[in-house]
Amino acid sequence: MKLKGKKAWITGASSGIGQATARLLASEGADLIISARREDRLQQLEQELTAKGCNVLVAPVDVSDRKGMEQVGSMIAANGGIDILINNAGTMPISPIINGRVDEWEQMIDTNIKGVLYAINAVYPGMAERKEGHIVNISSVAATLTYQSAGVYGGTKHAVRAISDTLRKEAIRYGVRVTDIQPGSVDTELPDSIAHDKIRAAVKDNMYGEDMPNLQPEDIANGIFYALSQPAYVDVSELLIRPVIQEN
């Protein structure tokens, strides 16, 4: 078990990539702190992983809640800190900019950018003090490309990529590694966050049609584990993972 003795905090752990990553890291011996808004889902995952011998702490929180994230950070610090942060929570209520769905823009900015920063701020100082740690931010293929109707979402993911690379350069002196994972089309609940009916239907048709075999959350979890399992002198700075058939 390559992560035996390591502690990992996973946000957005109630489903999809976060849940798959929790299962994989648990199988590799890591102790887990799992966070999301849906406490019932977290408790189900806790029961599943605890039954397999994993030490799991449930910390329900909305990553866009600054005070809530600070409280989780204080709890983590009081328990000796963590070795790994999987910054996974995100949302994607995309729509054409002309529609002016400002509340949804703010939701994406608050969750996809501020939430990432709140999580980093909660644990990075402790990692830097201990001279060890690994921060994995989950951005998107949209971090390097743009798509119609996904301007704000893509903007948030471009921001995550920029934050990740800047943090990587700053964290070198503290022995902390930083990885930006960029998933392509993955079979998760993310498209369910799209409130625009026509866009949601179009995305699901394009992503989940018979001619588009998607990645599974486990595929991204495997990529995350690849980055985590490298020797301490190796930093997998970026990893773009998408289905063979996905052109963009």
- What one-character-per-residue DSSP string does 42-65 give? HHHHHHHHHTTT--EEE----TT-
Q: Residue 105 falls within a domain, yes or no?
A: yes
Residue 245 lies in a domain: no
Q: Which of these is catalytic: 153, 174, 226, 233? A: 153
End-to-end CA distance of the chain: 36
Count structural domains, the chain. Answer: 1
Sheet holding 7-10, edge to edge: 56-58, 31-34, 7-10, 84-87, 133-138, 176-183, 238-241
State residue 240's pLDDT score.
97
Distance CA 55, CA 37 (A): 20
> Is 248 inside a domain boundary?
no
Q: What is the pLDDT of residue 150?
A: 87
User: Does residue 122 form part of some domain?
Assistant: yes
Domain range for residue 211? 7-238
Question: DSSP letters of 133-163?
Answer: EEEEEE--GGGT---TT-HHHHHHHHHHHHH
CATH code at 142? 3.40.50.720
User: Which is nearest to 44 in space by CA: 34, 85, 191, 219?
Assistant: 34
> Cα separation of 64 and 47, whole Å?
26
Within a domain: 246: no
pLDDT at 9: 98
Residue 1 resides in a domain: no
Query: How far is residue 21's CA from residue 207's CA, in Å, rounded to a whole number?
Result: 22
Position 80 in a domain: yes
**Tens of pLDDT along the chain (248 residues)?**
899 999 999 999 999 999 999 999 999 999 999 999 999 999 999 999 999 999 999 999 999 999 999 999 999 999 999 999 999 999 989 889 999 999 999 999 999 999 999 999 999 999 999 999 999 999 999 999 988 888 999 999 999 999 999 999 999 999 999 999 999 988 876 777 777 767 777 666 666 555 657 899 999 999 999 999 999 999 999 999 999 888 77
Is position 226 annotated as part of the catalytic site? no
pLDDT of the residue at 196? 75
**Contact by Cβ (8 Å): 164, 121:** no
- Taking the CB of residue 53, how many other CB atoms lie within 10 A of it? 9
Distance CA 247, CA 234 (A): 29
pTM above 0.85, yes or no: yes
Q: Is residue 200 part of a domain?
A: yes
